[in-house]
Chains A and B, each alone.
Chain A
Amino acid sequence: MAEVALHQVVKKFGEVEAVRAIDLDIPDNEFVVLVGPSGCGKSTTLRMIAGLEEVTSGNISIGGEVVNDLPPKDRDIAMVFQNYALYPHMTAYENMSFGLKLRKFSKDEIRQRVEHAARILDITELLDRRPKALSGGQRQRVAMGRAIVRNPKVFLFDEPLSNLDAKLRVQMRTEIKRVHQKVKTTTVYVTHDQVEAMTLADRVVVMNQGRIEQIGTPHELYHHPRTRFVAGFIGSPAMNFIPCRLEQVGSGLRARFSDAIALPVPSDREARYQSVVGKEMVLGLRPEHITEPRHNGRADGCDFDVTLDVVEPMGMETMVFFTLNGTEICGRVEPNSAGDAGAKMRLRANVDHMHLIDPASGAVI
């Protein structure tokens, strides 16, 4: 009963179209993450769901009820802000109970709810403190507590972890996930951090320039991106995009980068790519699919020699950078298999994981 649905929602700020006719259906209890670069319209979308921004056109409904014209307080939602937005003059307890007090809940009920939320978040000892006396992570918990006590239909998170340091961010990420598993509620979460999106979401919504690029589970987005934008945005380090030409060689297809290097296209894809043979295309391949030759994966014709520009040891693996056809490419190899910068190295492309992108439309074929 708390599903959220957006139908052809548009938001214009003056002449600027921030959100362009998006459709989105979020079933009950699902954790959905809106992700995208800054200015892609994800925060605006969230704020429209919250009722902090007016909808220019289209409909937003929560639990089957169109809420376009309802003020935030009547939408039965709770929101966690990037800078927490805790009331500085109130203790953690008062912060969490403020919304309930305004809704005229009884004192006992309020206490019961706040204590329950505090137990979930492990902040029982902090309830008497003011926000100033709390650390970043603790403030974050109180802000979540303020949302939880209300038992809203929908939780909204607006980049809640951006103000935390890297270590705490990872910790709070797990915490949010844990809380969602305990308090099953429909959740819409906005972030620009694709790792956060991947780790938290049941489904991820990738947005770009006011449109939805793709909606899918983290697995789908990672392995089956539908556009070049999604392919490039999800995954770190980002996917390599190499200009190439698709050639018919004998019975098979080849993606040719240069006179010297051409990769064979897996035979199960040949039918799919038939229409673009002979065209200039872009081949997408993730760094982890460019490795030193190993025994797994096909070997025939997938190996090529490069000169390394930069070598970045990461500990459990080493990133190698080289230039191919004027494009900088990143590969991911075992720590001890790469030489120094300037060294020659033989690498193998795992073409089973390749994506072929139409450079004009940006669509993955």
Chain B
Amino acid sequence: MSAVSVASVPNRPAAARASLKRGRRWALFASYFFLILFAIFFLTPPYYMIITSLKTDAEMAHMATNPWFIFNGVTLDQYKLLLFGTDFLIFFKNTVIVTVCVVAITMVVSVLAAFALSRMRFWGSTVMATGIFLTYLIPDTLLFIPMFQIVKSIGLLNSYWGMVLVYPTLTVPFCTWIMIGYFQSIPRELDEAALIDGAGHIQMLWRIFIPVALPGIIAATIFAFTVSWAAFVYPMTFLYSADQQVLTVGTVTSLIKADVYKWGMLMAGALVAAAPPLVIYAFLMDYYIAGLTAGATKG
């Protein structure tokens, strides 16, 4: 962008061409410089969390040393304490159960609906597609109080099954929306070819649409996974005993015993809890990003 294009000046003398080249080098250098600054800003908290989780309590209490580095040796004690001295593993198990259920429900519901909405017109289907997008824009903090009453009346208060019930409201609208986009990008002739080949609706969905739109399915699955893994408001409101707690709330609230902040263990907990989304991101970055950016376009 800031590098000047040479296209307009094909016959400049050598000196001018050299200065153009130098200008572009400068632009690149400046870009790297500022990017490094921003990277420091963006990566400081995770870095500091890692450092903290590997320190001994003694080093943390001893305030004279530079907190940004480890001087008294790396230790895994914080992780040991986290895994064997707290309810962390229960939180982890609960979160896995909730997330797996929510992702499964979300994908079944949204793929079915997106297939119907993108291919089989029926009364009200266009209005519905728009409506789905609007419901995606409703934040959880607008509905958590009536939801509290509803969950209570069903008897699922302080049960992680309550989360399985309410999380789909966060994931289904967006996943349906992006699946509609992916399905609509499949050329109509492909359905017609399948129709002539003798496929029914279910076969068409299962053997043509889902495989062809696999990148979309992966992107939507990742989205559903990250949202239900990171959800905070609902568990904060609906769950209060440790055996039902999920990772986000559990790490932030239950690991803090009285006024003693075991920061090393807390950071270890936060890191382990954040690991699954980070691992998925590391391996499936392109799908992750496709899912993120899909919201601004129709497919």
Contact = CB atoms under 8 A, between A and B. Distances in A.
B189 A72 contact: no
Contacts of B194: 87, 98
Contacts of B197: 73, 98-99, 102, 146
Contact of B196 (A82, A88, A89, A99): A99
B212 interface: yes
Contacts of B212: 87-89
Contact of B203 (A51, A77, A82, A102): A102
Contacts of A98: 194, 197, 199, 207
Contacts of A99: 196-198
B192 interface: yes
A103 interface: yes
Nearest to B203: A102
Contacts, number: 57
A82 B214 contact: no
Contacts of B211: 87, 89
B108 interface: no
A73 B189 contact: no
A88 B185 CA distance: 13
B113 to A, nearest CB: 22
B208 interface: yes
Interface in A87-105: 87-89, 98-99, 102-103
B193 interface: yes
A38 B194 CA distance: 25
Given A81-B189, A83-B189, A89-B212, A50 B196 contact: yes
Q: Give the interface SS of chain B, mostly helix, strand, loop or mixed.
A: helix
Interface string B166-202: 0000000000000000000001011011111111000
Given A87-B212, A89-B212, A102 B198 contact: yes
Given A52-B192, A102-B203, A85 B198 contact: no
Contacts of B214: 89
Nearest to A80: B193
A104 B66 CA distance: 72
A172 B194 CA distance: 24
A103 B207 CA distance: 14
Given A89-B211, A102-B203, A81 B195 contact: no
Contact of B195 (A71, A82, A87, A146): A71
Contacts of A88: 212
Contacts of A82: 189
Between B190, B194, B197, B203, the greatest number of chain A beta carbons within 10 A of the residue's beta carbon is seen for: B197
Contacts of A77: 196
Given A83-B187, A87-B190, A52 B203 contact: no
A78 interface: yes
B275 to A, nearest CB: 32
Contacts of B198: 73, 99, 102-103
Nearest to A78: B196
A72 B187 contact: no
Contacts of A52: 192, 195-196
A85 B196 CA distance: 12
B208 A79 contact: no
A99 B190 CA distance: 13
Nearest to A88: B212
Contacts of B203: 102
Interface string B205-225: 001100110100000000000
Nearest to B210: A89
Between B193, B198, B199, the greatest number of chain A beta carbons within 10 A of the residue's beta carbon is seen for: B193
A85 B190 contact: yes
Contacts of A71: 195
Nearest to A81: B189
B184 to A, nearest CB: 16
A52 B211 CA distance: 23
Contacts of B196: 50-52, 72-73, 77-79, 99
A73 B187 contact: no
Contacts of A72: 192, 195-196
Contact of A102 (B187, B189, B192, B199): B199
Interface string A62-88: 000000000111000111011101111
Contacts of B193: 79, 81, 85-87, 146
B55 to A, nearest CB: 50
A72 B198 CA distance: 7
Nearest to A71: B195
Interface string A142-167: 00001000000000000000000000
A87 B211 CA distance: 9
Given A83-B187, A87-B212, A89-B212, A73 B195 contact: yes
A39 B197 CA distance: 27
Interface in B202-248: 203, 207-208, 211-212, 214
Contacts of B195: 51-52, 71-73
B137 to A, nearest CB: 33
A78 B195 CA distance: 10
A19 B187 CA distance: 25
A85 B189 contact: yes
A78 B193 CA distance: 9
21 contacts: A50-B196, A51-B196, A52-B196, A72-B192, A72-B195, A73-B198, A81-B192, A81-B193, A83-B187, A85-B190, A87-B190, A87-B193, A87-B194, A87-B211, A89-B211, A89-B214, A98-B199, A99-B197, A99-B198, A102-B198, A102-B199
Given A77-B196, A87-B193, A102-B197, 7 more contacts: A79-B193, A83-B189, A87-B194, A87-B212, A88-B212, A89-B211, A98-B207
4 nearest CB pairs, A to B: A99-B197, A85-B189, A73-B198, A85-B193
